Structure 1
Amino acid sequence: MQKERELKRKQLQAKKEAEAQARLLVLKEERERALKAKQEEEMIERHVVEIRKEMHEKRLQDEEQRK
């Protein structure tokens, strides 16, 4: 009886530890995904800024040519 309770207690503890490890892994993956998404958004924003700058410069060149 004592051994059975001890075994169940150990199994429960092992299950709790496994669940805790799984939660930590999920959190780590979510943080990594969020960081990657943020980096991609920043890269896109830099590209948009670059395109706007090129468009502005082209517009200025076109205006100069019309004069």
Structure 2
Amino acid sequence: MKVMVDQDKCCGAGQCALIAPEVFDQRDDDGVVILLEAEPGADQHVAVREAAAVCPVGAIEVIEEA
């Protein structure tokens, strides 16, 4: 799995950082997403998928690898 974020789309809702704090964080000044781990371990995959699903603006892209 690879993860990409679009900081320009991010509205700072923060659900990603709450759901998968080992993978996502937020900038202190405006709450925009920070990607901590572009290739999270298998133990984080479920949380990352959930974070992407709940993002209100679709700023998180999950690329599943075969």
TM-score tier by shorter-chain length is under 0.3
> Quick check: which has more Rg, 1 or 2?
1
Q: Which has the higher contact order (CA 8 A, sep 6+)?
A: 2
Scaled by the length of structure 2, the TM-score of the pair is 0.22
Between structures 1 and 2, the one with greater strand share: 2
Between structures 1 and 2, the one with greater helix share: 1
Scaled by the length of structure 1, the TM-score of the pair is 0.22
